[in-house]
Structure formats: structure tokens, C-alpha cells
């Protein structure tokens, strides 16, 4: 059985993952408006990844007899204008999520909640991968420059991204 502290902290993480999903959906919309359909697809795929992160925690709470608490999600604030700025903002956001996951892991360890610890370690690995993906894209932008020709190629490349997670959440948990 999960402690109230753990349930509350997992619910906070669900909210943060759903905020991440909204943030990337909003970025996807902006990129689509700006004519970058491929990069917009990459961001929408990221939206699905984030929803999966939220739903995996949701399913875990239910599997432990606890209730997910769905709260208000803040509207995403996007100040970034260029593609490079958007990916820099993405990296900053992922670093925030990584810190949030570490906090949850530290709580699980301090409570000797080994089941939650095991679950959260999956997110630790996931964050390493997510940060690396964005670092790679930023490095590519450094190499090709953020002129129109380079971004045209990047747009084609990132448009090939497919979700690595199931999009049907009904079986999670």
C-alpha cells in the first residue's frame, strides 16, 4: 500500500507529465503554423510520449488501490520563436522534469517504497534518453546552422519520428 505522501507526489508528477504533453502539443501547433510540418510531427509524437508517461503513473496508482487526482493543468507558455529556441526551451523543460523525477525517486527511497522506486527508475532512464534526443537535435542545428536550407533538411528528418510507446492507454496498469 502506498503512503499518502507518495500518492500525492505521484499525482503531482502526473500533472507535470500532462503539462509536458500540453507544452509539446502547443509547440507542435506553432511549428505547423510556421510551416515546419515535419518538426511539428516530432513535437506531436513527443506529446504522445508525455501522455504515456502520465498514464503509466495513473495506471500504477490504480494497480496499488490509490486514486489518481486529475487537477487543473497550466496553459503552456511558449516564448521561443525560432526552431533553435524551441528546442533549447524543450531541453530546459526536460531538465526540470528530470529534477522532478529525481525528487520522486529520492522520496520513494527514503520511504523504503521499493515498488515505486522500481517504477520511477524507468522514468530516470527515459529522461536520459529524452534529454539526449534534444541535445542531438541542438547539435545538428549547430552543424547545419539555422538557415532555411538546413532547417528544411531537419524538417524532413524529424518528420520521420514515430511513437515508441503504445497509443492505446486502456491496457496500462
Positions in the binding site for ligand OFO (CB under 6 A) = 17, 20, 50, 53, 94, 97, 130
Alpha carbon distance, N-terminus to C-terminus of the chain? 15
**Nearer to ligand OFO (CB atom), residue 100 or residue 155:** 100
**Nearer to ligand OFO (CB atom), residue 6 or residue 54:** 54
Q: Which residue is nearest to ligand OFO (CB)?
A: 20
Report the Cα 132 to chain-centroid distance in Å: 13
**Nearer to ligand OFO (CB atom), residue 48 or residue 66:** 48
Q: How far is the CB of 101 from ligand OFO (least distance, A)?
A: 8
d(C-alpha 168, C-alpha 51), whole Å: 10
What are 32's three cell numbers? 505547423
Q: Tell me the H-state helices in 34-147.
A: 37-63, 83-110, 114-144
Q: How far is the CB of 85 from ligand OFO (least distance, A)?
A: 18
**Nearer to ligand OFO (CB atom), residue 81 or residue 95:** 95
Comparing C-alpha atoms, which of 42, 49, 40 is closest to residue 97? 49
Amino acid at each position: 500500500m502506498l503512503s499518502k505522501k507518495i500518492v500525492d507526489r505521484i499525482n503531482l508528477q502526473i500533472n507535470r507529465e500532462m503539462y509536458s504533453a500540453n507544452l509539446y502539443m502547443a509547440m507542435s501547433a506553432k511549428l505547423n503554423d510556421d510551416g515546419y510540418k515535419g518538426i511539428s510531427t516530432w513535437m506531436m509524437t513527443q506529446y504522445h510520449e508525455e501522455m504515456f508517461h502520465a498514464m503509466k503513473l495513473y495506471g500504477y496508482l490504480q494497480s496499488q488501490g490509490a486514486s489518481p487526482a486529475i487537477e487543473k493543468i497550466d496553459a503552456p507558455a511558449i516564448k521561443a520563436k525560432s526552431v533553435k529556441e524551441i528546442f533549447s526551451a524543450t531541453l530546459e523543460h526536460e531538465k526540470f522534469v528530470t529534477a522532478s523525477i529525481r525528487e520522486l525517486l529520492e522520496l520513494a527511497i527514503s520511504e523504503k517504497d521499493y515498488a515505486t522506486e522500481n517504477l520511477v527508475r524507468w522514468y530516470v532512464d527515459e529522461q536520459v534518453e529524452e534529454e539526449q534526443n534534444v541535445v542531438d537535435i541542438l547539435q545538428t542545428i549547430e552543424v547545419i546552422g539555422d538557415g532555411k536550407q538546413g532547417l528544411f533538411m531537419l524538417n524532413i528528418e524529424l518528420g520521420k519520428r514515430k511513437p515508441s510507446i503504445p497509443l492505446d492507454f486502456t491496457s496500462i496498469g
